[in-house]
Amino acid sequence: MKRVLVAGATGYLGRYVVKDLKRQGFYTKVLVRNPEKLNQEGDFFAPSIREDADEVAIGDVTKPDTLKHVCDNIDYVFSSIGITGKNNGLTFQDVDYQGNVNLLKEAERSHIAKFMYIHVCSNDEWKKSGPLIEAKERFVNVLKTSNVDHIIICPTGYFSDLTNFLTMAKKGRAFLIGDGKTRMNPIHGEDLAQFCVQSFLETNQTLDIGGPEILTYEQIAQLAFEVLGQKERITNIPVSLLNPVSLGLKLCSNHHYGVYRFFINVMTHHLIAPMYGKHKLKDFMNQRT
């Protein structure tokens, strides 16, 4: 039986990964800051996982002293560590880069077999277009040169990221950047988790992955209005109008600038990856309403 450490276990994707590891017969150890969250349902209906964790380690990837021996007797490490919400004064370099580096160092000390990291699907045009992507890319470069075999998973985007369209539709109007014709195939957390677990069979691979439907952002907005039973009201915002906002955020807040630049790039570049999974976005939106 392979033993897996899951870092980011109480996040949206991490919860589904723990569930699927348990279903597949892996011994699962979770690394968490707050073990109480294991008993709770996660955001966007992600499941409670307390009964699925064989072992619980309490630690914080930004505090290396709390990670000592966390990878002992572990075969694989899974990390979806990264800033996704409130940053609590931490930067992308603190968490997405250095936090994962700290975990990788422990993995190297314990001579684990494989380290899986959840990156983002992007392209060469915007890999260095903001602090969020730069921090993730910086860690990926370290991981690729480490003495641990790596598997880098690059999803196009999560269904959970698209709930903002429901929020806008509920308020009566959806705003799109550009003409709304940019395409992507987002993926449900459960489908992505299954792909991740089966990908532990791979070695030193970078794998792009998306869901089973290719949609434009205009279609996603229309879908939000449809499931709410409301009349479509969509406003397109020219990209050129957003550049001054980007500059202002860069001067005031590196964190908000990073999130903003990532959002702009995702909305204005096609992100289409090999299709996987069974969940449809409309069903997910219906569940949310």
The answer as to whether 78 is a domain residue is yes
- Among residues 76, 25, 77, 17, the alpha carbon closest in space to that of 49 is found at 17
57 three-state secondary structure: strand
The strand pairing partners of 78, in sequence order, are 6, 116
Q: What is the CATH number of the domain that holds 90?
A: 3.40.50.720
Q: Establish if 149 belongs to a structural domain.
A: yes
Q: Tens of pLDDT along the chain (289 residues)?
A: 899 999 999 999 999 999 999 999 999 999 999 999 998 888 888 999 999 999 999 999 999 999 999 999 999 999 999 987 656 789 889 999 999 999 999 999 999 999 999 998 876 655 556 778 889 999 999 999 999 999 999 999 999 989 999 999 999 999 998 899 999 999 999 999 999 999 999 999 999 999 999 999 999 999 999 999 999 999 998 877 666 555 555 545 555 565 656 667 777 789 999 999 999 999 999 998 8
Query: How many folded domains does the chain comprise?
Result: 1
In a domain, 226, yes or no: no
* Size of the chain in residues: 289
Question: Does residue 70 contact residue 16 with C-beta atoms inside 8 Å?
Answer: no
239: Cβ–Cβ under 8 A, 6 or more apart, which residues?
177, 178, 264, 268
CA atoms within 13 A on the CB side of 40: 10
Of 149, 172, 148, nearest in space to 228 by CA = 172
Which domain does 7 fall in, by range? 3-161+186-210+272-279
For residue 20, being part of any structural domain is answered with yes
Distance CA 74, CA 247 (A): 45
Q: Residue 10 falls within a domain, yes or no? A: yes
Residue 237 lies inside a defined structural domain of this protein: no
Residue 203 lies in a domain: yes
Domain membership of residue 137 (yes or no) is: yes
Beta bridge partners, 31, equal 7, 57
Closest of 80, 141, 151, 81 to residue 116, by C-alpha = 151
